[in-house]
């Protein structure tokens, strides 16, 4: 007796859903390419030049000292992309758009466009890691990474660090009186230098594994005349515990460590009893089903795949990922010995949050 295997009927295809998703893909791919042109506008000063007022392509090219033919084609892409307005050969960058694309403050989102080209440069190596495991070493992203990360955070620190972030930590009075402070993963040290200049009675040390970033931090300290800040190239998993610290800051630095749990333990050892650990990091839930409602989650998970997770895995690390989130953060901080005293949304920043932690013993 022969039997026939059961057959299954494929689910009916919703043609409207196919068309809708195809449109989403076209928009996603087109916007990704447009991001590269935003990066070019930021790099070449075209946005700053356009903010001076309406201009023809020739006038705008002259303002920026660039080739008119390239500027004209660039403008065409940005007109069709909704960035510029165009009428009778005159191009206008609306004031509201200029606010988001120019200036040195945190409102300028143009620096974020640099991330796409930066991360795409190592896409072949990320593909290899998908196939073979491991990751892309941090060194492959430098020195460009150092400059990009500085440009992403500098305006925010200038506007919010002293007036917005520090008051949430409860440290302002103690900083004014004079305490010992470290910044782990300090990058170019701009936050350290701002704090040191504002609180001359305190002593600050910035640690980072990138020698090029530390060189820039020291140069800025010298230029600002800051004498109570020093910088050291060091993997912060070996953070010195003697003499003890009163406070430690970590700005978007924990989640991409090779050994994040080891770093948290090292910070705990380095702090004196009653010391404060301020973790400024990405705001997530640690639950994908909740993150789908977060409008910036696609960007942050993508950043994780293309940088934060892979640099950790490249070092044989945990690969914690950008979106480690509140649940995982609280658990890891507790396991390291910290009490999370308060959790705040970062002021004027929809991406990050601030954990204020104490070493109780």
The candidate with the shortest Cα–Cα distance to 185, out of 158, 148, 146, is 146
Residue 124's pLDDT is: 98
Checking if the pLDDT of 9 tops 60, the result is no
Residue burial 334-345, b: 16+ Cβ < 10 Å; e: rest: eebbbebeebbe
CA atoms within 13 Å, Cβ hemisphere of 74: 24
pLDDT attached to residue 5: 54
Averaged pLDDT, 68-79: 98
> What is the enclosing helix (H) or strand (E) of 288?
helix 288-291
pLDDT of residue 172: 98
> pLDDT by residue (tens digit) across 158-216?
999 999 999 999 999 999 999 999 999 999 999 999 999 999 999 999 999 999 999 99
Coil, helix or strand at residue 231? strand
Position 234 confidence tier, pLDDT thresholds 50, 70, 90: very high
Mean pLDDT (whole number) for 46-69 = 98
Residues 6+ apart with CB under 8 A from 171: 179, 247, 276, 278
pLDDT for the residue numbered 4: 57
% pLDDT > 70, the chain: 97
Question: Binning pLDDT at 50, 70 and 90, where does residue 11 land?
Answer: confident
* Global pTM value: 0.92
Q: 117-359 has which fold?
A: Rossmann fold (3.40.50)
- Domain ranges in the chain are 15-102, 117-359
Predicted local confidence at residue 3, as pLDDT = 54
* Mean model confidence pLDDT for the chain: 95
Q: What is the pLDDT of residues 80-115, one digit of tens each?
A: 999 999 999 999 999 999 999 999 988 999 999 999
| CATH T-level fold of 15-102 | Arc Repressor Mutant, subunit A (1.10.10)
The tens digit of pLDDT for each residue in 297-316 reads 999 999 999 999 999 999 99
Check if the beta carbon of residue 306 is closer than 8 Å to that of residue 300: no
Pairing relationship of beta strands 85-87 and 90-92 according to DSSP bridges: antiparallel
Measured CA to CA, the distance from residue 306 to residue 297 in angstroms comes to 14
CA distance 286 to 353: 14
219 has a pLDDT exceeding 70: yes
Confidence of residue 14 (pLDDT cuts 50, 70, 90): very high
């Amino acid at each position: 007796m022969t039997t026939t295997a059961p057959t299954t009927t494929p689910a009916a295809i919703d043609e409207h859903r196919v068309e809708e998703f195809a449109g989403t893909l076209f928009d996603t791919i087109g916007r990704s390419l447009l991001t590269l042109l935003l990066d070019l506008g930021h790099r070449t000063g075209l946005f700053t030049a356009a903010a001076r007022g309406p201009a023809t392509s020739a006038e705008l090219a002259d303002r920026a000292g660039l080739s008119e033919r390239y500027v004209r084609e660039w403008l065409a892409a940005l007109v069709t992309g909704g960035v510029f307005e165009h009428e009778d050969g005159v191009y206008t960058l609306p004031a509201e758009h200029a606010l988001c694309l120019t200036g040195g403050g945190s409102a300028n989102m143009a620096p974020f466009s640099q991330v796409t080209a930066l991360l795409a440069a190592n896409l072949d190596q990320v593909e290899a890691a998908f196939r073979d495991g491991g990751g892309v070493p941090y060194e492959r992203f430098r020195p460009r990474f150092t400059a990009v990360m500085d440009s992403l955070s500098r305006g925010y620190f200038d506007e919010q660090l002293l007036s917005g972030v520090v008051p949430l930590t409860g440290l302002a009075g103690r900083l004014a009186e004079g305490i010992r402070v470290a910044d782990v993963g300090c990058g170019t040290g701009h936050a350290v230098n701002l704090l040191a200049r504002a609180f001359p009675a305190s002593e600050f040390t910035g640690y980072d594994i990138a020698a090029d970033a530390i060189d820039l931090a020291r140069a800025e300290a010298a230029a600002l005349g800051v004498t109570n800040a020093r910088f050291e190239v060091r993997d912060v998993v070996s953070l010195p515990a003697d003499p003890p610290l009163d406070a430690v800051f970590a700005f978007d630095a924990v989640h991409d460590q090779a050994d994040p749990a080891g770093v948290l333990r090292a910070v705990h050892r380095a702090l004196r009893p009653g010391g404060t650990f301020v973790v400024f990091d990405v705001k997530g839930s640690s639950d994908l089903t909740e993150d789908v409602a977060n409008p910036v989650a696609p960007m942050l998970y993508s950043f994780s795949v293309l940088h934060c997770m892979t640099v950790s895995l490249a070092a044989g690390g945990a690969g914690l990922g950008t979106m480690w989130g509140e649940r995982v953060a609280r658990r890891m901080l507790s396991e390291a010995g910290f009490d999370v005293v308060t959790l705040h949304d970062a002021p004027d920043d929809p991406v990050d949050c601030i954990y204020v932690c104490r070493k109780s013993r």
